[in-house]
């Protein structure tokens, strides 16, 4: 039974390579869980504030009022994208232009706003994806690192058996069983990392789609009311 394993004895009997593998996997697992908690809180707050922002955006008739509210929603990617577009729109509004500006000037203004929205969206995606790749790396490599530790442990066990010339079940079972702990540690580190990695990427993809849709809606509003 798993509960009957004396992990202290396993560590005492482990080779230097096995100990290094277990320490590496333990550190990777601990850091993965810390990242999972941090990223989960970040995405949860981003979702909550984005819902609040969208509710404010569609209910308000004044962009300046929306901008004031958006400044309080720092964790929302949609809020940040809107602020980037609004600030670019404000710069264009402050420029001295002919009331019936040329078509090229109007198109240039729209393009500036569109570029500002795209830059902000890419920056938000980069922020949301920060450290997520580490989880993917742990999920894909930890089982192989654990397998490496197991292979080295088994090789050591067989070398010891060859030296003593005694290959009974009693002498083989314990060292091989201890070596398999590295594989278990690799899976323990990898499984939650893979689950969290896929979950976070799915949520970030939703944010990416929402920012793209919001940018299109914002541009349509700007075209109707400011670039007639």
Q: What is the pLDDT of residue 222?
A: 87
Q: What is the pLDDT of residue 4?
A: 58
Q: Give this prediction's pTM.
A: 0.82
CB neighbours of residue 16 within 10 Å? 9
Q: What is the pLDDT of residue 178?
A: 74
Please count the structural domains in the chain.
1
The residue-averaged pLDDT of 24-31 equals 95
Q: Which domain holds residue 25?
A: 2-226
Residues 156-176 as b/e (b if ≥16 CB within 10 A, e otherwise) read bbeeebeeeeeeeeeebeebb
Confidence of residue 121 (pLDDT cuts 50, 70, 90): very high
pLDDT tens profile 34-93: 999 999 999 999 999 999 999 999 998 889 899 999 999 999 999 999 999 999 988 887
Confidence of residue 6 (pLDDT cuts 50, 70, 90): low
- Residue of 124, 42, 127, 40 lying closest to 82 (CA atoms): 124
Average pLDDT of the chain is 85
pLDDT score of 139 more than 90: yes
Phi and psi at 95, nearest 5°, equal -70, 145
Q: What is the pLDDT of residue 2?
A: 46
pLDDT tens profile 98-119: 445 544 445 457 888 899 999 9
The residue-averaged pLDDT of 183-203 equals 95
Whole-number Å distance between alpha carbons of 89 and 97: 14
């Amino acid at each position: 039974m798993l509960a009957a394993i004396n992990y202290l004895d396993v560590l005492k009997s482990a080779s230097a390579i096995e100990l290094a593998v277990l320490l590496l996997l333990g550190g990777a697992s601990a850091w993965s869980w810390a990242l999972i908690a941090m990223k989960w809180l970040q995405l949860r707050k981003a979702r909550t504030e984005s819902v609040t922002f969208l509710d404010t955006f569609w209910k308000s008739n004044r962009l300046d009022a929306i901008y004031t509210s958006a400044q309080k929603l720092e964790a929302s990617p949609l809020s940040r994208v809107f602020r980037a577009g609004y600030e670019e729109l404000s710069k264009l509004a402050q420029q001295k232009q002919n009331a019936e500006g040329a078509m090229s000037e109007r198109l240039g203004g729209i393009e500036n706003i569109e570029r500002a929205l795209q830059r902000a969206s890419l920056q938000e995606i980069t922020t949301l994806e920060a450290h997520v790749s580490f989880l993917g790396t742990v999920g894909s490599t930890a089982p192989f690192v654990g397998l490496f530790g197991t292979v080295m442990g088994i090789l050591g066990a067989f070398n010891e058996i060859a030296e003593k010339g005694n290959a009974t079940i009693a002498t083989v079972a314990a060292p091989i069983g201890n070596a398999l702990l590295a594989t278990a540690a690799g899976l323990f580190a990898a499984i939650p990392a893979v689950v969290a990695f896929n979950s976070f990427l799915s949520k970030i993809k939703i944010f990416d789609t929402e920012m793209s849709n919001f940018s299109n809606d914002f541009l349509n509003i700007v075209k109707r009311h400011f670039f007639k």
